[in-house]
């Protein structure tokens, strides 16, 4: 969500996120993703691919693999 030009030039990127939080909280997640992408890089907002074989190798009879699916997740690609 772009801010008016008089605020866009004067505020730091973090202050812009705080303004979004105060004014339009439903846009907050997108603003935080954009902030993280600009400040520390794209790789910090992307989920790494899941390595089932590596997870299997790390597991044992006392350290099981537990899958937690979020709402709307499709476990069968």
Instruction: Give, for all 77 residues of the chain, the pLDDT tens digit.
Output: 677 888 788 889 899 899 999 998 899 999 999 999 999 999 998 888 888 899 899 898 898 888 888 877 777 76
Handedness of CA 4, 24, 1, 11 (dihedral sign): positive
List helix spans (H) across the chain. 5-8, 13-23, 28-39, 52-58
pLDDT for 21: 92
Record the pTM: 0.59
C-alpha 12/C-alpha 50 separation (Å) is 35
């Amino acid at each position: 969500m772009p801010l008016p030009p008089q605020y866009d030039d004067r505020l730091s990127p973090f202050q812009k996120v705080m303004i979004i939080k105060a004014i339009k909280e439903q846009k907050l997640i997108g603003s935080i993703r954009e902030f993280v992408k600009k400040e520390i890089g794209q790789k910090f907002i992307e989920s790494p691919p899941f390595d089932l074989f590596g997870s299997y190798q790390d597991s044992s009879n006392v350290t099981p693999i537990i899958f937690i699916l979020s709402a709307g997740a499709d476990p069968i690609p």
